[in-house]
Amino acid sequence: MREAPIGVFDSGVGGLSVLAEIQRLLPNESLLYVADCGNVPYGEKTPEFIRQRCSVMARFFQQQGAKALVLACNTATVAGVADLRRDYPEWPIVGMEPAVKPAAAATRSGVVGVLATTGTLQSAKFAALLDRFATDVRVITQPCPGLVELIENGDLHSPALRQLLARYVEPLLGAGCDTIILGCTHYPFLKPLLRQMIPDDISLIDTGAAVARQLQRLLAERELLAVEPARDARFWTSADPVHFKDVLPVLWNSPGIVQSFDM
């Protein structure tokens, strides 16, 4: 069971940023990744639809013999992680949430910005995070329609992307934010571009590394950490496998074999 793989999924390619953090921290672990690109972005879907997709992913990874499940998507976590933990109580399941707590601790100006999907920002879970950890800071939220779709195409640098990102970042800078939360797993891929747009003393915070640490903790508790060297990561997509394969070298550390996911 130690050498069983870990299943990771996202609405698209964004979860590859989390997958990279898991591989960095746990290099012996074999990884399975499903990109539900046929339904991206989840942020514009109903909670009922997202819960159904989460259930499909869980069944698939169970069939693949996965020893743990990672929801590498803030929106999927908001909608579906509670149901999955109820349905699979013995399975280590790790979700995502915007890094409100570390951002509130890090800010010096007392103003924190959040770049996220509309679905995440409108969720009760996000509101609860603000109530719990951000009572002493001012939080400026910025929905970012269109960013996910550009990143899905491997676009990290185009003038269109730069213009869109600047439009979303400018209100945060104008409000005096000195800490910006990247509240979608797609957004860490934009860090190099963001660094060109914002002052050096503004912190960018995402949760990929924290998710990897939580996964490590849960596997260690259950004596499930792999000992043998990892097998190559395996990839599936619910959209065009050729497109995903073309984008993979841009967003992942190597090319890979991509299979069609038709569940």
Is 184 catalytic? The answer is yes
Token duo for residue 60: 């698939």
Token duo for residue 253: 């550390």
Residue with tokens 């950890």: 133
* 3-state DSSP assignment of residue 216: helix
How far is residue 235's CA from residue 204's CA, in Å, rounded to a whole number? 28
- In one-letter notation, the amino acid at residue 231 is R
The active-site residue out of 37, 54, 73, 177 is: 73
Residue with tokens 């003393």: 201
Half-sphere exposure of 239 (CA within 13 A, CB side): 19
Preceding amide of 41 cis, omega within 30: yes
Token duo for residue 228: 């043998």
Is 73 catalytic? The answer is yes
CB 44 within 8 A of CB 21: no
CB 119 within 8 A of CB 143: no
Cα–Cα nearest to 66, from 252, 240, 234, 241: 234
The active-site residue out of 37, 54, 144, 184 is: 184
- Please give the positions annotated as active site: 73, 184
